[in-house]
Structure 1
């Protein structure tokens, strides 16, 4: 079994599940990583690919992913100014690993929806 117990603040700060996995498995982070798998995108294009994300939430998540080294942000001074986002090698590796989880979710979506309906009924 994975070591998941953290009884102190120091143990929690050194727990890879708490510090890394819980962050990158959020809905928006996953979608951003998947959207950038085929190459760099400008902010507006990235927002359109995802669809149901606000500008503020996209900005916050992009900053977080950049901070952790999963993507880079480059500015072309233009005119007009263009900001591009691209996965780093670390980001590409992570997206590839998470793709397996996404494929599992797609395969089991119907089964899980039925289980929820049974439970809620």
Structure 2
């Protein structure tokens, strides 16, 4: 809802999102696996910007979470960049492994990992 509200008001968050896991205090071992109330926090609006046809600011986020537009230095970044970053974070939180994995953080390896994972 929060991200939808920003986008409806022509604002792109342009940054990372944090996952907030519930408190595990007082839960039995069985309840740990039954109860999972994951919350996503939108914070640090330092890279937020109003969406327009002008140049977008540089997004400061880990390259493995960055949308392709950022990796290719596309100067028009829109709301889909937020959706991409949120999707990668959710997959990493809920999946058995990170969506994109590379030990060498150079642009070619990251793009290759994206293509190998998602296809052409």
- Which structure has the greater CA radius of gyration? 1
The answer to whether TM tops 0.5 is no
TM bucket, shorter chain: under 0.3
TM-score of the aligned structures, taking structure 2 as reference length:
0.23
TM-score of the aligned structures, taking structure 1 as reference length:
0.23
**Normalized per residue, which structure has more helix?**
1
